[in-house]
């Protein structure tokens, strides 16, 4: 894992020393992504700068250093990530005898460069299995190419300001260039308030974008036309469409065997490393499956890592320990106090560079920090929910919509507002009364959470808006903003071939997965210079999952049915079959307790009015409702607080 940065163009008055200094500042900002080495390549005449910070994982020698120049001298590359099948690509290049490559080292970057020379960039990307972001300069055609892996595991930002075209792994590198202008995109704030993240291609800054997954950008500098063209070399839309029209036709036994085989190969390739390697283990289905397949292919005990919390409802460490003992891994766990977790919060704006408000960013950083004390690479179980139907909304939405669609919308809307107006203590008393009359136990549910979810369901006009409402933290984020509104296109368009459940899974894989889950994983891990790998997102696994009929993913009201069958070959279901917990922290209670003063300082009315972005009245009303216990608004407030905290950090930097 590494960090890349660079730019094209400069003002005519920029001296060579200033040109070097600009690139140096950008590279320094990414030192955490690559603490082992740094390299720069500059073409003074063409005003091209490529920078690289290296975390050495394959070929630890200088032969793996970057930026790397191809054998012919035509291409220069700065590469971040891993090409897992690079050894087989080398054999293909050697067997074909097209270029007769004589290898300088054994890095995957050198393999990719040789493939680009023989096949061209697009075909080389299609042949590659991996996670990556790269910048490639073609000296012959005077063209710059930026590329990103199929599912968006590795980040890549780009944009133009004052005649300079920037690119980098993280925004902080672009910010480090003295030419950068940090004008905030107020529309992006609306997106972050709704979703908890800013989806691709948007960023918090005007003129700076995220390159979409599965794409490469072409910018030719020869001639007068210097437009940027974005080309897709792989599309999850196409993968899912192919799966719909050419579904898997085998039976259960064949599906179990096929999934185990494709997953086993993905895990095997991602275990390739010249440095210590381990895995995150929560004890759930996804991480347990990855660890089980790792341990089955390793002669030594795999190093596994988990963290626990004092709050029982958020603690998965006990389950992880049981799975680790059964599999025989070398397990390490850390029980984190609330103070340790709270100490991470001031660092979050530095890790993420733009407002990002998934509270599981806190435990993700802590488990990454724990893992980095013993390994340099860690495999993760992320992606299983999106591919195999793990989220509750996948098997609840259709049922909920079928139940409520016959009720006139105006009546449903009134009922939703009524639910939100009732104090949760009153609802709990009512529930206990019904439970007594029916001689049943009172369900241990947070009624304010349930009432909020039910109100979102009731306010939905159709099944697509039901999904949108369920993933929204604020149903009307513009109400909180002085200016700014959501782009109409932030939600993926539905495909006629998809029913609502298929659409939700596709939409999550296109937006929530790369822009929330993988962003969280990448930034939290790279903050401590830890490389993470995600075997479920091997595109061969993704394409296989897309072809599976829905009853192999969701069966008898339970998600990830097929994945569970594979896991049961290695781990008894008694160790993993339990309600989904997620990887979170008790933000709601922390905001009423140890985080109250911190939050109050960020939500101060005078402060908000002075900043000029938010409406103080609605924000303060949400805060007071939460403090009073009238409603649980922990997540919506966390979105606002992460923006405010980020804004504070920007003013100090």
pLDDT of res. 79: 96
Of the candidates 161, 159, 133, the one whose C-alpha atom is nearest the C-alpha of residue 147 is 133
Q: Span 156-179, mean pLDDT?
A: 94
Give the whole-angstrom CA distance, residue 10 versus residue 12: 6
The residue with greater pLDDT, 327 or 652, is: 327
Lowest mean pLDDT among 249-263, 394-408, 410-424, 438-452: 438-452
The residue with greater pLDDT, 43 or 277, is: 277
The residue with greater pLDDT, 498 or 410, is: 410
Give the whole-angstrom CA distance, residue 653 versus residue 359: 24
pLDDT of res. 60: 67
Instruction: Pick the catalytic residue from 1, 2, 89, 277.
Output: 2
Residues making up the chain, counted from first to last: 653
Give the whole-angstrom CA distance, residue 378 versus residue 372: 9
Beta-carbon contacts of residue 88 (< 8 Å; ≥ 6 apart): none
Q: Span 592-604, mean pLDDT?
A: 95
pLDDT of res. 225: 60
Over 50: is that where the pLDDT of 610 sits?
A: yes
Over 90: is that where the pLDDT of 310 sits?
A: no
Helix (H) or strand (E) holding 80: strand 75-83
Over 80: is that where the pLDDT of 193 sits?
A: yes
Over 90: is that where the pLDDT of 487 sits?
A: no
Q: How confident is the model at residue 444 (pLDDT cuts 50, 70, 90)?
A: very low
pLDDT of res. 439: 45
pLDDT of res. 16: 74
pTM (two decimals): 0.92
Q: Span 282-286, mean pLDDT?
A: 93
Lowest mean pLDDT among 248-262, 453-467, 571-585: 571-585
Lowest mean pLDDT among 188-197, 254-263, 314-323, 419-428: 419-428
pLDDT of res. 336: 85
Measured from the Cβ of residue 45, the count of other Cβ atoms closer than 10 Å reads 6
Over 50: is that where the pLDDT of 442 sits?
A: no
Q: Span 130-141, mean pLDDT?
A: 96
pLDDT of res. 437: 43
Give the whole-angstrom CA distance, residue 501 versus residue 458: 18
Over 50: is that where the pLDDT of 332 sits?
A: yes
Of the candidates 481, 422, 477, the one whose C-alpha atom is nearest the C-alpha of residue 452 is 422
Contact 214/236 with Cβ under 8 angstroms?
A: yes
Extended strands (E) in 472-549: 531-533
pLDDT in tens, 200-236: 999 999 999 999 999 999 998 876 567 789 999 999 9
Of the candidates 264, 307, 303, 314, the one whose C-alpha atom is nearest the C-alpha of residue 282 is 307
pLDDT of res. 478: 94
Of the candidates 211, 216, 220, the one whose C-alpha atom is nearest the C-alpha of residue 234 is 216
Q: Span 229-249, mean pLDDT?
A: 93
pLDDT of res. 577: 80
Over 90: is that where the pLDDT of 572 sits?
A: yes
Over 50: is that where the pLDDT of 561 sits?
A: yes
pLDDT of res. 424: 59
Q: What's the mean per-residue pLDDT of the chain?
A: 89
Query: In 298-360, which ranges are continuous DSSP H helix?
Result: 317-327, 338-344, 348-352
Tell me which residue has tokens 């307790």. Answer: 593
pLDDT in tens, 57-107: 766 667 778 899 999 999 999 999 999 999 999 999 988 766 556 788 888
Over 50: is that where the pLDDT of 187 sits?
A: yes
Q: How confident is the model at residue 36 (pLDDT cuts 50, 70, 90)?
A: confident
Lowest mean pLDDT among 197-201, 442-446, 474-478: 442-446
pLDDT of res. 438: 40
Q: Span 508-524, mean pLDDT?
A: 97
Over 70: is that where the pLDDT of 554 sits?
A: yes
Query: What's the farthest any 2 CA atoms get from each other in the chain?
Result: 84
Over 90: is that where the pLDDT of 152 sits?
A: yes
Beta-carbon contacts of residue 480 (< 8 Å; ≥ 6 apart): 193, 474, 614, 615, 618, 619, 640
pLDDT of res. 6: 96
pLDDT in tens, 117-128: 999 999 999 999
Lowest mean pLDDT among 121-125, 426-430, 579-583, 608-612: 426-430
Beta-carbon contacts of residue 562 (< 8 Å; ≥ 6 apart): 255, 256, 259, 388, 548, 552, 553
143, 146, 492 from 229: Cα distances, Å:
11, 10, 21
Lowest mean pLDDT among 76-85, 302-311, 392-401: 392-401
Q: Is 2 a catalytic residue?
A: yes
pLDDT of res. 481: 96
Q: How confident is the model at residue 460 (pLDDT cuts 50, 70, 90)?
A: confident
Percent with pLDDT over 70 in the chain: 89
Q: Span 500-527, mean pLDDT?
A: 95
Q: What angle do CA 333, 317, 344 make, to 5 degrees?
A: 70
List the 157-161 sheet strands across, edge first: 37-43, 48-54, 2-8, 164-168, 157-161, 208-210
Contact 348/641 with Cβ under 8 angstroms?
A: no
Of the candidates 65, 66, 58, 51, the one whose C-alpha atom is nearest the C-alpha of residue 107 is 58
The DSSP bridge partners found for residue 49 are: 7, 42
The residue with greater pLDDT, 142 or 442, is: 142
Percent with pLDDT over 90 in the chain: 65
Q: How confident is the model at residue 396 (pLDDT cuts 50, 70, 90)?
A: confident
């Amino acid at each position: 894992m590494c960090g890349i940065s660079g730019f094209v163009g400069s003002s005519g008055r920029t001296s060579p020393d200033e040109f070097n200094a600009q690139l140096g500042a950008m590279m320094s900002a990414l030192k955490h992504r690559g603490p082992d080495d740094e390299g720069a390549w500059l073409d003074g005449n063409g005003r091209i700068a490529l920078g690289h910070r290296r975390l050495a994982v394959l070929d630890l020698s200088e032969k793996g250093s970057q930026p790397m120049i191809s054998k012919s001298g035509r291409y220069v590359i700065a590469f971040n990530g891993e090409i897992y099948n690079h050894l087989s690509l080398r054999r293909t290049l050697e067997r074909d005898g097209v270029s007769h490559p004589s290898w300088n080292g054994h890095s995957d970057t050198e393999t990719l460069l040789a493939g680009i020379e023989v096949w061209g960039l697009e075909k080389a990307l299609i042949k590659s299995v991996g996670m990556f972001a790269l910048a490639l300069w073609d000296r012959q055609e005077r063209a710059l190419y930026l590329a990103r892996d199929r599912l968006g595991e590795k980040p890549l930002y780009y944009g133009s300001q004052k005649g300079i075209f920037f690119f980098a792994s993280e925004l902080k590198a672009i910010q480090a260039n003295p030419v950068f202008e940090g004008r905030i995109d107020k529309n992006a704030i609306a997106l972050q308030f709704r979703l908890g993240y800013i989806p691709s291609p948007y960023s918090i800054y005007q003129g700076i974008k995220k390159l979409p997954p599965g794409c490469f950008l072409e910018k030719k500098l020869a001639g007068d036309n210097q437009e940027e063209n974005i080309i897709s070399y792989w599309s999850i839309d196409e993968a899912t469409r192919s799966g719909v029209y050419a579904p898997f036709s085998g039976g259960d036994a064949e599906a179990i065997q096929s999934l185990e085989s494709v997953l086993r190969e993905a895990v095997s390739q991602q275990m390739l490393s010249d440095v210590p390697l381990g895995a995150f283990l929560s004890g759930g289905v996804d991480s347990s499956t990855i660890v089980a397949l790792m341990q089955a292919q390793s002669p030594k005990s795999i190093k596994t890592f988990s963290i626990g919390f004092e709050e029982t409802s958020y603690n998965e460490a006990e389950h992880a320990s049981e799975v680790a003992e059964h599999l025989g891994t070398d397990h390490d766990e850390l029980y984190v106090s609330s103070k340790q977790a709270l100490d991470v919060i001031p660092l979050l704006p530095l890790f993420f560079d733009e407002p990002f408000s998934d509270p599981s960013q806190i435990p993700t950083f802590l488990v990454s920090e724990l893992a980095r004390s013993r390994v340099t690479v860690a495999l993760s179980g992320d992606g299983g929910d999106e591919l195999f139907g793990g989220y509750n909304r996948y098997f609840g939405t259709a049922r909920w919509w079928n139940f409520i669609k016959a009720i006139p919308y105006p009546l449903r809307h009134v009922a939703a507002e009524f639910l939100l107006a009732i104090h949760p203590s009153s609802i709990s008393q009512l529930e206990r009364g019904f439970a007594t009359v029916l001689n049943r136990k009172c369900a241990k549910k947070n009624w304010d959470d349930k009432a909020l979810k039910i109100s979102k369901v009731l306010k939905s006009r159709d099944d697509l808006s039901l999904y949108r409402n369920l993933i929204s933290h604020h149903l009307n984020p513009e109400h909180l903003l002085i200016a700014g509104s959501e782009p109409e296109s932030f939600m993926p368009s539905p495909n006629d071939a998809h029913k609502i459940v298929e659409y939700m899974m596709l939409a999550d894989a296109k937006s929530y997965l790369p822009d929330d889950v993988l962003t969280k994983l990448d930034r939290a891990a790279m903050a401590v210079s830890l490389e993470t790998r995600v075997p479920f997102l091997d595109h061969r696994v993704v394409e296989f999952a897309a072809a599976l009929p829905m009853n192999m993913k969701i069966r008898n009201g339970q998600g990830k049915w097929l994945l569970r069958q594979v896991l049961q070959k290695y781990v008894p279901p008694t160790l993993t079959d339990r309600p989904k917990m997620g990887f979170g922290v008790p933000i709601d209670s922390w905001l009423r307790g140890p985080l109250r003063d911190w939050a109050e300082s960020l939500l101060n009315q005078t402060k908000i009015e002075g900043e000029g972005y938010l409406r103080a009245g609605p924000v303060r009303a949400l805060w007071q409702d939460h403090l009073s216990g009238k409603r649980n608004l922990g997540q919506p407030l966390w979105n606002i607080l992460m923006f405010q905290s980020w804004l504070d950090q920007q003013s100090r930097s």
